[in-house]
Structure 1
């Protein structure tokens, strides 16, 4: 309880000091510099105006800016300089920088009628004194004064009051919180200790104060993620070991046979196995690189989708597929181009592998205008609804064989989901009316049209 109250008091002091150093101090300097500029400009403007227009200008200064002018203002007697705070010091420094001569402010009664103080209108606070200084311009010294009600703020007193009130509340609150949070925090400590010791993550009751309930909810979410990460790590290690063992066994057998008799077919099979292993290792690296967030850039969706379709043109021809690009003209997104390319390429590669035929790359703005949807749609066999949540996991494949020629390694959608989670995108697989599967990626739109060398709208089918 004592340390909580002391910590709160120290935090309050840090906040007050930070507010002074980084907020109030720069604001005061900027305000003082603006006021000094207004005073110098008023004096210079008055000296350049024709005599018959000066009264109207003085009246305008008094009414709109609470400033008054006194031509040939006498310097203050020695020893009558104003003892002031830091704001007036900022103002005097700003005046000296702008006029090139030392500036000091003198506290005098409020200006009265126009005869005694030319240009001084009757103020809303007649009893408030004014601050005056001399501004050199056009060979004469013009007195410029302003109402001290412009300075009628007390930031230090306000901060002090806040700190004192906060300290009193902190002491009382510390006593109340110590009783209110002791039990849930003890449960959290026990669960965290069990997790640190390697035991299975324990779920906490999501009850009690709102903050602790949210904390318990986040801890339970973290525990679930830890469990899923452990399961994914086990699955990845087991899957990599299994999928590498098969080509390694074939390579060992081929090497033994090559010792007996060279055979071009065995060498070709060795090359295929090496390529398969390299592809698996490459997808594992893709999954690892998905943890790095890439900077977002403006992308012209129509031209970009045309490039993705062109990149898969040869693969589509081999698979007997036809890729069509369909997107709205002038559509743009703000996204990481490399990560987005990996996502679309994985989805398009799955479509070419499992559902060759008519494949559509589509870009559209959803109703409401705050989301752009990119989709890869096919007319293949699709995926049953109960299997849709499963296919996102590493090494989860609906195709029964383990051959990469027929079904890949089962890592493509895992890479897609991880990249989408890192960059804040929404990805989803959904069935199509009339058969087939549609993979969608929802992205934030780009305000305005991105620059692009291709201004021809959507690309023709590849």
Structure 2
């Protein structure tokens, strides 16, 4: 119960409901003071004028016509005129705006008038001394009493009820998606991949769901990469460690320079593997952006890799220089390793984006595996030998660096043979 009272749904619904009720009450008070009370006072004054005028008319009429006048007055206006004492000694029945009627009668008559009642009757009576007669005037409050308070109360009640329903509806539309997001967040925190949140409803909630779904997929991909990374480490390090241990055991009995060289080579392989794993792990954070000439950077990469470079017009971009250099270097090394010696490095500089292109003349990659080669440890050559290929992390690092920094990288087979790798950097 305490959780429900502290929930956003309950608090927001209660706040809206109270606000609507206060608004309804304030509206009723304004209508009551500016409309109902003036109308009631006017009605009370009209009734008092009718009573006084009827009494004065009765006095001025001949005695033989007074009975007919009394009958017509009762039929048309519900007023009773008589000189007989009707026994109105009790308090008059309570009805709305009785005070206003007594005040109007007092003003008309010239002295205080208090309405009285007859036991067992619903009529209200008053005595008016006029023309030497003590006239008793009676009327039924149900005919003259105004009943707007009941109508106003009904309006306030219905308004409050509708306001509460509206508040509950609006708050539910907001809190239900938030509750789903909270539950999905707890699943993500537990390492699970929740079902995608519905990207519907108001624009803000739909955008929240869209961004959460993207975040959940990225977290899941990060966890998968971590698992794959740890599995790759345990798998790839086992072979050189086993060879190293074997060489060390054999060195006990027969020391030989060749075995020492093999042990050193195994250590170099392990160091290369660990360096690759650490490089992949560091690609999860974007590099700070800076403005530099992309054509000049490609000239440096081409010189380091021994590639011909015909030069290009300056092409300034705002990006992480080290990340760009690393991606291009990995693409060039990959092309040189698998695409043969004929590797070409080019640049296309447009207003919207700059494109770095690495072309080779190798055998290419089957179309159904152009995306798979970006997975960590995925290799078309399955021997995992350092002599025939790397660890399968080069293109994985390229893709991870590109996505982390908001760039695009892709592969496609060339019509003339070979592979073309393209890095696209928005300008």
- Asked whether the 8 Å contact 2:13–2:171 carries over to 1, the reply is no
Q: What is the alpha-carbon distance in structure 1 between the residues aligned to residue 288 and residue 319 of structure 2?
A: 8
Give ranges in structure 1 of 5+ residues lacking alignment.
9-170, 314-322, 446-462
- Asked whether the 8 Å contact 1:326–1:363 carries over to 2, the reply is no
Structure-2 change in CA distance of 1:194 and 1:306 (3 Å): closer
Q: What is the alpha-carbon distance in structure 1 between the residues aligned to residue 193 and residue 384 of structure 2?
A: 32
Residue of structure 1 equivalent to 2:219 = 226
Q: What is the alpha-carbon distance in structure 2 between the residues aligned to residue 229 and residue 387 of structure 1?
A: 22
- Per-residue Cα deviation, 1:235-274 (whole angstroms, up to 9, x for no partner): 1111111100000000011111111111211111111111
Structure-2 change in CA distance of 1:363 and 1:7 (3 Å): farther
Structure-2 change in CA distance of 1:340 and 1:252 (3 Å): same
**SS of the counterpart of 2:328?**
helix
Q: CA deviation at 1:426?
A: 1.5
- Per-residue Cα deviation, 1:295-345 (whole angstroms, up to 9, x for no partner): 3333333332221122123xxxxxxxxx23245323333332211111111
Q: What is the alpha-carbon distance in structure 1 between the residues aligned to residue 268 and residue 411 of structure 2?
A: 30
Residue of structure 1 equivalent to 2:366 = 384
**SS of the counterpart of 2:308?**
strand
- Asked whether the 8 Å contact 1:236–1:394 carries over to 2, the reply is yes
2:412 counterpart of 1:436: no
- Asked whether the 8 Å contact 2:359–2:418 carries over to 1, the reply is yes
Residue of structure 2 equivalent to 1:72 = none
Q: Of 182, 197, 201, which aligns to 1:208?
A: 201
- Per-residue Cα deviation, 1:65-113 (whole angstroms, up to 9, x for no partner): xxxxxxxxxxxxxxxxxxxxxxxxxxxxxxxxxxxxxxxxxxxxxxxxx
- Per-residue Cα deviation, 1:400-457 (whole angstroms, up to 9, x for no partner): 1111221101111121122212222221112212111111111244xxxxxxxxxxxx
Residue of structure 2 equivalent to 1:324 = 308
- Asked whether the 8 Å contact 2:357–2:422 carries over to 1, the reply is yes
Q: What is the alpha-carbon distance in structure 2 between the residues aligned to residue 402 and residue 342 of structure 1?
A: 23
Indicate the structure whose relative CO is greater, using CA pairs within 8 Å and at least 6 residues apart: 1
2:294 counterpart of 1:301: yes
2:330 counterpart of 1:346: yes
- Asked whether the 8 Å contact 1:432–1:438 carries over to 2, the reply is yes
User: What is the total number of aligned residue pairs between the two structures?
Assistant: 273
- Per-residue Cα deviation, 1:24-63 (whole angstroms, up to 9, x for no partner): xxxxxxxxxxxxxxxxxxxxxxxxxxxxxxxxxxxxxxxx
Q: What is the alpha-carbon distance in structure 2 between the residues aligned to residue 406 and residue 7 of structure 1?
A: 70
Alignment of 1:37-436 (within 5 A): 177-313=170-306, 323-366=307-350, 369-436=351-418
User: Scaled by the length of structure 1, what TM-score is found?
Assistant: 0.54
Structure-2 change in CA distance of 1:307 and 1:6 (3 Å): farther
User: Scaled by the length of structure 2, what TM-score is found?
Assistant: 0.58
- Aligned-residue Cα RMSD (Å) equals 2.8
Q: CA deviation at 1:4?
A: 5.0
Q: What is the alpha-carbon distance in structure 1 between the residues aligned to residue 13 and residue 408 of structure 2?
A: 44
Deviant stretches of 4+, over 6 Å: 5-8, 171-174
Q: What is the alpha-carbon distance in structure 1 between the residues aligned to residue 180 and residue 389 of structure 2?
A: 47
